[in-house]
Amino acid sequence: MLTYIGRRLALTIPTIFALMFLTFLAVRLVPGDPVEVRTGERGISPERLAQFRHELGLDQPVWKQFADYVSGLAQGDFGISLVTKEPVLKEFLTLFPATLELAFFATVFAVTFGIPFGVVAALRRGGILDHGLMGVALFGYSMPIFWWGLLLILFFSVQLDLTPVSGRIDLLYYFEPVTGFMTIDALISGQEGAFASALSHLVLPAVVLGTIPLAAIARMTRSSMLEVLEEDYVRTARAKGLPPLRVIGLHALRNAMIPVVTVIGLQGGTLLAGAVLTETIFAWPGVGKWLIESIFRRDYPALQGGVLLISSILVLVNLGVDIVNGVINPRVRHGR
Amino acid sequence: MSRTIRGSVAAVSFAAAVLASTALSAKTLVYCSEGSPENFTPALNTTGTSLDAARPVFNQLVEFERGTTKVVPGLAEKWDISDDGKVITFHLRKGVKFHSGINNFKPTRDFNADDVLFSFNRQGDPKHPYHKVSGGAYDYYNDMEMPKLIQKLEKVDDYTIRMTLSEPNAPFIANLAMDLGTIHSAEYADFLMKQGKPEQFDQIPVGTGPFQFVAYQKDAVIRFKAFPQYWGGKAKIDDLVYAITPDATARYAKLKKGECQVMFGPNPADLAKMKEDKDINLLSQPGLNIAYVAFNVQKKPFDDKHVRQAYIMAIDKAAIIRDVYQGAGQAAKNLIPPTIWSYNDKVKDYGYDPEKARQLLKEAGVQTPLDIDLWYMPVQRPYNPNAKRIAEMMQADLAKVGLNAKLVTYEWGEYRKRLQQGEHITGQLGWTGDNGDPDNFFFLLGCSAARAGGQNLSKWCDKNFDDRLVKAKQIPNVAERTKLYEEMQTIAHDEAPQMTIAHSVVFEPIRKEVTGYKVSPLGRHDFYGVEVK
């Protein structure tokens, strides 16, 4: 087992190094640098332009900029945002809990609905329910997040007045963040109604962000269930006269869940990518929205630091999934 | 734990203690803004988003009257200008209080001349202890050539400041009303320097303005409350909240639901619905901007004014305003918008006349079809929603009179650089004004900007025009200046170094319960004097 974990860990290191290089390169491939973005129609004297570039280190050869970046990273220094002059890591850590909270509730939504949808579709294979649910899943999977978010806002917030439009909590409530998770902070604050307000603000963004994972989970649950339902032990269980609910709930579902758990784990990437758009629509102050603003401002350190941090988290999540899989399934562990 | 982190934690804990009991009062105005501020020191910023976020807290020596570009007294009650126009003496307002900071700062004295010295010297003196704090790029201060202009800045006494200029400069007073003229507390700067936290100066603002800073939750909310001791009288609202909402459709949804009362930048597609909405007042005003096509007069045949006039007549400007601006633009006949004083309404636009255009080209000896180019910006600008679409419409119109325009564009930074070098034959660009002074627009056609790399994209240098431009910049008398600018507009029309396209119209949707809100021609969002019923 230790060898397996060691092997997985060793594979992670080149991945993270490649990420470092790619993010560094990618942000510089976007046309226009931070100085040009700042000057607008006004024009700028060549002397001041040179001075700005020098201050930002942009007059250095790219390899030197990369070497400085890597040596900073080695010391845990992700750089200073060109725009806010705050350390990138500090900004990321301030905003990341909001993204994590949103991703968590989106996953809860996706799992709560995705698994039952998949099970029902499998049990009614070929029937109207199956076609209906899988049609919904396909629709959810191909839905542009931006459009879906606005549609829900217009319908549930504006027309039906059921949910707030955007933000994390009603402006009526104000308390300093303790954990950065609004639901937890609302509870800690002890202010009446704050927790309910935080939850109501989570509904729409969690639904929007959770839609694609829901579709993926529902489809995987269905196909996995169909496979398991054909197995001998299910037939045996039925033949023994066990009640159908017990056969499905206990014998079939538990085994069908193995690939589904992997799919849930792999939704991390979808959630973080989706967060970029979801956070922008719902004015959710997380890292997704922050990255978008950093792109517009060509804030190189924020952009490369932010992307690297998010990607590293994903790499670590995948590593975690691999290790868990190895623990549950010896065939994976032994590379068979 | 480092000293900075410890300091921040202490500040945050203190803020939490102060604010734990803070609840929004009945008179709260929520403004749905579009983005997060970079910091709260206007001198460091150039984006409207950041400047809007700091303005409630501060004053300048002179200020723009709300809803206009007229300069009125601010922290200076009055000012005298010497006969040679080079020495300006400001008499400062007495009894002006600074806010307390949420980081334990308590002012011990009123505003005085030291604060003025601090605010300008931070920007102008590279040896000033605060000059390098927070990156120390003072773009506007430098762009408006303040280091060159201000020769000497002296404190005569606690309530008198004397500025000596290197040359007479009439727009200078308007420059001081810009955000670069924001007055900070020198005492607060010392307080933070002693604590070893100078960078907090730009994150936790302390000023003399109508609202004091309460809190900023990154990327989410900025909170202010009315300052009871404000020298102009307490604001009519008690709490001012900026709810940062980047998406225009979400902002509109919040406005409809009453989650905010004023919103930034509506989607053009939503304007029609907003006009019909019984809960919303859709305010509008031509923006302080211009979209134009510059003709490079150094390239044949555009050295001939008849060819330039023919080009203008060949274009159906009304169709561009209708199809591209979709009601959010006003056809421009002058370089300055009608909201700026000295606008010459007597100038008559050329009008769409392809027949006359063909005739003019023939008379000028132009062999048609003639290949020319037409550059367009690769990006959307406040004055131009779709430069490519405009270019395509113009291309079709020009083809009808025998001018085959090849469409050209580059990456935005490269585009501006090449235009300023004069590589184009005809090219689109525009301008957004800074201070409402006509000079801030007309310099775009001056001889000194016509050099390669200068902002006069037509590379047009006309003595009649330029003499007036230089003279108008030096005399303080507004009536005399007005006359000169009016004449310049006639010259620019006749000589046609550029085709003025449009001034975009700025729309500001506010809820009906909001009264006293004024659309700023400068694109600002000011909430002092605004009430929520």
Q: Look at residue B375 in the predicted model and tell me its pLDDT.
A: 97
From the candidates A39, A84, A96, A291, which should be mutated to test the interface with B, based on the most B CB atoms within 10 A?
A84
**Residue A165 scores a pLDDT above 50:** yes
Counting residues of chain B whose pLDDT is more than 70, the rounded percentage is: 95
Q: Which of B451, B456, B400, B401 is nearest to B427 (CA)?
A: B456
Q: Where are the beta strands (DSSP E) in B5-158?
A: 28-33, 62-64, 71-73, 76-81, 87-92, 150-157
**Residue B331 scores a pLDDT above 50:** yes
- Residue B506 pLDDT grade (very low, low, confident, very high; cuts 50, 70, 90): confident
Neighboring chain B residues of A38 at a CB cutoff of 8 Å: 46, 139
Q: Look at residue A137 in the predicted model and tell me its pLDDT.
A: 86
Predicted structure pTM score? 0.84
- Beta pairing partners, B284: B507
B220 vs B12, higher pLDDT: B220
Q: What is the pLDDT of residues A106-157, one digit of tens each?
A: 999 999 999 999 999 988 888 898 999 888 888 888 888 889 999 999 999 9
Kindly list the domain boundaries of chain A, sorted by start residue. Answer: 96-298
Contact A153 B250 (CB under 8 A): yes
Least-confidence region, from A233-237, B14-18, B31-35, B274-278: B14-18
Q: Please say whether the beta carbons of B342 and B486 come within 8 A.
A: yes
Q: Look at residue A40 in the predicted model and tell me its pLDDT.
A: 65
Torsion of CA B471, B472, B478, B483, to 10 degrees: 90
Q: Look at residue B15 in the predicted model and tell me its pLDDT.
A: 40
Counting residues of chain A whose pLDDT is more than 70, the rounded percentage is: 94
Which chain B residue is nearest to residue A156, measuring alpha carbons? B253
Q: What is the pLDDT of residues B267-291, one digit of tens each?
A: 878 888 999 999 999 998 888 999 9
Q: What is the pLDDT of residues B141-183, one digit of tens each?
A: 887 889 999 999 999 999 999 999 999 999 999 999 999 999 9
Q: What is the pLDDT of residues B65-81, one digit of tens each?
A: 998 888 999 999 999 99
Chain A neighbours among B 340-379 (CB < 8 Å)?
Answer: none
Q: What's the mean pLDDT when you consider all of chain A?
A: 86
**Residue B14 scores a pLDDT above 70:** no
Counting residues of chain A whose pLDDT is more than 90, the rounded percentage is: 30
Q: Look at residue B24 in the predicted model and tell me its pLDDT.
A: 59
Of A38, A172, A286, the CB nearest to B139: A38
**Residue A269 scores a pLDDT above 60:** yes
Predicted-assembly ipTM surpassing the 0.90 threshold: no
Contact B221 A290 (CB under 8 A): no
| DSSP characters over B225-288 | EE-TT-TT---SSSEEEEEE---HHHHHHHHHHTS-SEES---GGGHHHHHH-TTEEEEEEE-S
**Residue A72 scores a pLDDT above 70:** yes
- What value, to the nearest 5°, has the Cα angle with vertex B475 and ends B470 and B477? 135
Tokens of A202: 């989570």
The CATH fold assigned to A96-298 is: MetI-like fold (1.10.3720)
Q: Please say whether the beta carbons of B279 and B511 come within 8 A.
A: yes
| DSSP characters over B302-345 | TTSHHHHHHHHHHS-HHHHIIIIITTSEEE-SSSS-TTSTT--T
Q: What is the pLDDT of residues B448-467, one digit of tens each?
A: 888 888 889 999 999 999 99
Neighboring chain B residues of A157 at a CB cutoff of 8 Å: 253, 257
How many whole angstroms separate alpha carbon B440 and alpha carbon B265? 24
Chain B neighbours among A 4-63 (CB < 8 Å)?
Answer: 31-33, 36-44, 46, 48, 52, 55
Q: Look at residue B352 in the predicted model and tell me its pLDDT.
A: 96
Q: Look at residue B304 in the predicted model and tell me its pLDDT.
A: 95
Averaged pLDDT for residues B381-398 = 92
How many whole angstroms separate alpha carbon B270 and alpha carbon A283? 19
Neighboring chain A residues of B199 at a CB cutoff of 8 Å: 85
Q: Look at residue B378 in the predicted model and tell me its pLDDT.
A: 85
Burial A171-184 (b: 16+ CB within 10 A, else e): bebbbbbeebbbbb
Neighboring chain B residues of A205 at a CB cutoff of 8 Å: none
Neighboring chain B residues of A52 at a CB cutoff of 8 Å: 137
**Residue A324 scores a pLDDT above 80:** no
How many whole angstroms separate alpha carbon A241 and alpha carbon B356? 95
How many whole angstroms separate alpha carbon B229 and alpha carbon B232? 8
- Residue B309 pLDDT grade (very low, low, confident, very high; cuts 50, 70, 90): very high
Q: Please say whether the beta carbons of B462 and B491 come within 8 A.
A: yes
Q: What's the mean pLDDT when you consider all of chain B?
A: 90
Chain A neighbours among B 253-282 (CB < 8 Å)?
Answer: 253-254, 256-257, 259
Q: What is the pLDDT of residues A180-223, one digit of tens each?
A: 899 999 999 888 899 999 999 999 999 999 999 999 999 999 99
